[in-house]
Structure 1
Amino acid sequence: MISYILAENLKHKRTFLKKLLVIMPITLILLSLFLMPSYFTTNSYNWWYVIIMPATFALIPAMMDRKESRKLNYRAVFPLNINLKKLWVSKIITALIYMSIAAIIHMLGVYIFQFFIGKQLTPTYRFSTLLFASILLIITNIWQIPFCFFLAKKIGFIASIVLNAVLGLALGILLADSYFWIYCPYAWANRLMIPVLNILPNGILIDATNPLVSSTSLLIPCILSISLFTLLTIIGAKWFSKQEVK
């Protein structure tokens, strides 16, 4: 499996996809810095998980799929004597690594820039808090990777990005502070940031005494996301293994 992952990573050497892993978080950080420096940390994280992460989780698989399908439509892959299930899983793991890199760059950027800004009108979070928040965001969003790979393969590059970004933005905000949040995977990440960072999906800060803080489980959404990720990966691998050159 490691050789599959290394090969998959090599396909994207010196591509725009890898530049995107730096461009997306840094651009967001700079926008937060120049637009509303007094709310820098709050906005940097709120905009990240509400807007940028759903788009990025859709964009990375879509760009990886387009690398294979744009010119040859997987004709360079399917005839080879390789395990297509392992190939599919390696793509998902590679995308997860890329997304984790982008999340780490975002977290480090936010933490470092806090010191340059100085006192804000919103809380300045400790490194451990930001790290914990970023880990939770990765875990509660990983199910999107196999889902977005499937979308990209079935409905195409643009449609898969737009669909996932719109669903993530709409459902993530609308349902995160509702009773039904646990039933909507897009709401899991947004909801967990309420007790961790004390930020509502709309960017409003709340205090630790708010009922949404005490009523939110951190463990259950993580278990659900990992389970859904595993299920979608297995289903997707079986489906992909039956594909043929067209």
Structure 2
Amino acid sequence: MPEEATIVQSDQLISADTANAVSILHLYKSFGNNHVLIDFNLAIKKGESVVVLGKSGSGKSVLIKCIIGLLKPDKGTIAVFGKNVSEIKEEELDKLRAKVGFLFQSNALYDSMTVRENLEFPLRRHWIKVSQVEVNKMVLEALDDVGLAHTVDMMPVELSGGMRKRIALARTLILKPEIILYDEPTTGLDPITGKEIIDLMNDIQEKYNTTSLIISHDMNCVRMTSDRVVILVEGKCYANDTWDRLQQNKDPKVKQFFE
């Protein structure tokens, strides 16, 4: 059995506490006979950084897609800032999504667009109406946050892998999201560049007091970015504690991630 400190008391994790940015209760998601999430429970407080750790195919990416409303749960409740993602109307969901930034593992930059145009894209797509002067200001501010203001008129093909990741993060920041969902933010990067992205994530967290949910296999990223680590095993939130406490845990299902 896991040590008592990491056992998840699911109903105690979810409350109507307004301090929670995200509350997930009794979440189920299957694809045919593949039961990916099974009674998954988690609460994330505003300003907290939580990393979800699990084996490939364990349901980590499915989880964040459910949170943002890209996938609909089979059962259960996901509340973002107190609003049930599955029940609100499309217009309200769109406004809620403007508060949630999503950093894709692949960066998802448009190769045919300049850096400026990539950053402008979410401003054009969302309901927010801003002048071109304001758009220019927001683009340059987001690029300043990631240290790449000089790339504004460059094409993605002209950028290194680390620079493309920074531009993708700048695009995520353009709407000043209150929550950022990171899907494997350091995958495919060399250790030095990966460390730079980790430092940047922490800088953003401190500057904007964002709430972060991070999916990662990079244990250096997990250790350096997390207030808490959630271990996803067999569709459930199996363990939920700090890095230091989980690292000392003797339960085999927890220990395998720290060996």
TM-score (ref. length: structure 2): 0.25
- Structure whose residues are more often helix by fraction: 1
- Give 1 or 2: higher strand fraction: 2
